[in-house]
Amino acid sequence: MKYTKETLIGEVLDNDGSLGKYFMDMGMHCLGCPAARGESIEEACQVHGVSCDDLLEKLNANTK
């Protein structure tokens, strides 16, 4: 699966829980929160002030 800006965080974590570390690295420590799991990758990056493209590159490069 290739992740995009529209992919929900919950989808990423359901597909591969080990990718949660990349969200934690960007300061998103509330991964278990239902609201956070329903956010898109783009929304999370905007809220946390990080580059969406950089996060997507990491997620897609480390997808099993």
Q: Which domain holds residue 44?
A: 9-61
Q: Based on the structure, what is the number of domains in the chain?
A: 1
Q: Indicate if the pLDDT at residue 2 is higher than 90.
A: yes
Cα–Cα distance, 8 to 39 (Å, whole number): 5
pTM (two decimals) = 0.88
pLDDT at 3: 97
* Residue 28, domain member (yes or no): yes
Q: pLDDT, tens digit, for every residue of 6-47?
A: 999 999 999 999 999 999 998 888 888 888 889 999 999 998
Average pLDDT over residues 51-64: 94
Q: Give domain status of residue 2, yes or no.
A: no
Backbone conformation region of residue 27, classed left if phi is above 0, alpha if psi is from -120 to 50, else beta: left
Task: Return the pLDDT at 36.
Answer: 84
Residue 4 lies in a domain: no
The CA distance from 40 to 11, in Å, is 9
